Chain A
Amino acid sequence: MTRPARAIAATAALTATALLATACGGGQEEAVAVDTSDWDAVLAQAEGQSVDWYMYGGDQRLNDFVNGEVADRLAELGVTLNQVKITDTAEAVNKVLGEQQAGRTSGGSVDAIWVNGENFATGVQADLWACGWTADLPNARYVDLDDPAVATDFGVPVQGCEAAWQQASSALVYDSAVLDEADVESVESLLEWAATDPGRFTHPAPPDFTGSMAVRTFLYDTLGADAVTAAAEGGGLADEDYEQARDETFARLLDASDDFWRGGETYPVSQEEVEKLYADGEISAFLTYGPGAVGSLVEDGVFPESTRTTVLSVGNISNVSFVGVPANAEDRAGAMVLADVLQDPEVQLGLYEATGIFPVVDLDTVDPALAERFAAVDAGPSVLSPEELTADALPELDSATLARIEDDWRAQVLRGTG
């Protein structure tokens, strides 16, 4: 070994030793318990806390609502809301997992996460969440906790580990100047239209949340609504059934995707990019989880006036999303107060008015005057009413199947043609 090389090796060894030595020191105490059965105590504990809420930050209207009305309501209770915008919920879960791995059992930096599906399931497997508190929220009386959509999250029992706060419903957004009603009848007619007018349809690549829904829409169309419902109720798809449906779906997609945007050779990274493509007139139809927001985009002149929303004959994919609180969170009491504020019917109405996001509160249980105001919200001519939209709502399959179809899509469709 030459002298410099030896010196480098020595420095490196020293550094590593120093890092290791410091790494082994100091254990940490468990996080202080929050007893949710005494709500006044929770409020007292929450006062003065600053809640870091990690949430997907791509929806400007939602951001405004969160930092406006929600933050104001929390401020009245002495809780500061700090919205941490992320592009993928997995980032937040990964962060908590990383803290757990690094031995931070208290004082965790993530107080609340807007979560559902596989991110929730991963957290459950890793024993990440604070559980058993959601039924204690005072406003939980407005939410039907026994409704399967709220009691289970993509097949995983919620067990009080996350509190529902909004409902996403899928729909197709299209430019009626380019597509007519027959084209948007079903998945089949949509694909036929794409073949005659190529390059005008796309969806984001999973693991984007909406991209994942788009791929599932095609999968469910192959399976048929009855099979999906049976699988959701019976605890999932058998392997061979899944594989058969997947192969059939992908064969169909690989065939049809030649006529997608960019010849199906690539897909946008995110739903925002898809909406930009639509606003620019590059594409004329896309699937969305936020049909309620389309009206205001048309009003602002971002989308053309001929924009319409509809539901394909396969039905609409609908799921509830939640607020999860990590067990190691620094400000858990504050995070639970946040979850409660979000379930307040007034806040739910404000959310619906401001962003078009559907409520999770059961309208039969809220004050009739308030229910009327829900019914009176006018989303504009481009948007279907919630009833029309969710008439053929499909349940979600388990999150394992969800993860599997995403991975398989990336391996077989994205890479297969890329």
Chain B
Amino acid sequence: MTRSPWRGAAVAVVAVVTLLPMVPVVLWAVAGAWRYPDLLPPETSLRGLRLLAGDGVLGALGTSVLVSTSVALLACLVGLPAGRALGLHRFRGRRLVQFLLLAPIIVPPLAVTLGLQVFFVRYGLADTVGGVVLVQLVPTVPYAASLLAAAHADLDTDHERAARVLGAGPVRTLLHVSLPLLRPALVTAFLLTFLISWSEYVLTLLVGGGRVTTLPLLLFSAIESSDRTAAAALGLLVVLPPVLLVLALTRVAGRDVAWVGVSRA
């Protein structure tokens, strides 16, 4: 591929435009008083970053990690068998099942949750981490199932058959043969569903009722408050894990569905 100066310039323009919106976030996170029309903060301050070590933020960080890990685990647990059925078996109604599993990508989870909220309240799931985890399965299970269906479709089932012939039971076959073969897809599905859950705001707000405080909830109220430094610092805390995860994900997966999922996060 030839390189010419204008191509370098084009790359630079694309890179700058893509990165530009994050620039003020980084600046505000370390800014002291920064009044209009100063282009750059006249003084830096560690106040924003220090806020991140506060009790509220650490608590929310813990809740976020707990919720997202549980959601990712459950979504993979639910998605794995479904992916197996879809990837390995041809059966009547397969297309319908596929369509149903994709429904949450099309029908907005917000619309769905508004209808269900009264039941969450009635059964004591509202305001609980459990309720939030449950509702977040809606936007995550479809991706776990699609990813794992694709992985199963590519799976060489000869290994499983060989293991069974050699006398391994179904559990041993699953643990020692199938899962290792599916590992890359499982890792991708886990990271992806973790990410979607990590970014979720409105479902957490609705079902968590302000009592299950994840980082996005804190960030939202920080953006609404008049403290831009606090909002920017929190924004950095919220954005770093997913970006790092995805850059890691780039190495283990190249599937379209992963990118669709990431962009929905």
Hey, which bits of chain A sit against chain B, CB under 8 A?
3-4, 7-8, 11, 19, 22-23, 52, 54, 57-58, 60, 82, 84-87, 91, 95, 98-99, 101-104, 107, 109, 269-270, 272-273, 275-276, 279-282, 300-302
Q: Verify B226–A279 contact, CB threshold 8 A.
A: yes
> Which one of B33, B100, B127, B224 lies within 8 Å of A109 (CB-CB)?
B127
Q: Is the CB of A302 within 8 A of B121?
A: no
Interface string of B140-157 (1 = CB under 8 A from A): 000000000000000000
> Which residues of chain A have C-beta atoms less than 8 A from B99's C-beta?
4
Chain B, Cβ-Cβ closest to A5:
B96
CA distance A109 to B127 in the complex (A): 8
Contact A276 B228 (CB under 8 A): yes
Verify if B164 is at the interface (C-beta below 8 Å from A).
Answer: no
A88→B26 CA distance, assembly (Å): 30
Interface size for B (C-beta < 8 A) is 26
Instruction: Name the B residues within 8 Å of A109 (CB-CB).
Output: 126-127, 209, 211
B121 lies within 8 A of A98 (CB): yes
Residue B36 CB within 8 A of the other chain? yes
Q: Known: A23-B122, A85-B221, A103-B122. Contact between A95 and B33, CB under 8 A?
A: no
Contacts of A279 in B (CB 8 A): 35, 226
Which A residues touch B225, using CB under 8 A? 58, 60, 272
Q: Select from chain A the residue with minimum beta-carbon distance to B56.
A: A67
Q: Determine if B93 is an interface residue (Cβ-Cβ < 8 Å).
A: yes
- Which residues does chain A contribute within 8 Å of B118, judged by CB atoms? 98, 101-102
Chain A: CB-nearest residue to B220? A87
B interface residues, Cβ below 8 angstroms from A = 33, 35-36, 93, 95-96, 99-100, 117-119, 121-124, 126-127, 209-211, 221, 224-228
Which residue from chain B places its CB closest to the CB of A11 in the assembled complex? B100
A270 touching B121, Cβ below 8 Å: no
Q: For A104, give its contact among B122, B209, B226 (CB under 8 Å).
A: B122
In Å, the complex CA distance between A99 and B122 comes to 7
Bound complex: CA of A153 vs CA of B118, how far in Å? Answer: 31
A91 touches B224 (CB 8 A): no
Nearest residue, chain B, Cβ from A270: B224
23 contacts between A and B (CB under 8 A): A4-B95, A7-B93, A7-B96, A8-B100, A23-B119, A23-B122, A52-B211, A54-B210, A58-B224, A60-B227, A82-B211, A84-B210, A84-B211, A87-B221, A101-B118, A104-B122, A107-B124, A272-B224, A273-B226, A280-B36, A281-B36, A282-B36, A301-B33
Cα–Cα distance between A176 and B167 once the two chains are bound (Å):
88
- Least CB distance from B111 to A in Å reads 15
* Contact (Cβ within 8 A) B33 A102: no
Task: Indicate whether A8 sits within 8 Å of B96 (C-beta atoms), given known contacts A54-B210, A272-B226.
Answer: yes
Chain B residues whose CB sits within 8 angstroms of the CB of A276 once the complex forms: 226, 228
How far is B120's CA from A104's CA once the two chains are assembled, in angstroms? 12
Residues of A within 8 A of B100 (CB): 8, 11
Extra contacts besides A272-B225, A281-B36 (13): CB < 8 Å? A4-B99, A8-B96, A19-B119, A82-B211, A84-B210, A95-B209, A98-B121, A102-B121, A104-B122, A275-B226, A282-B36, A300-B33, A302-B33
A280 near B209: Cβ-Cβ < 8 Å: no
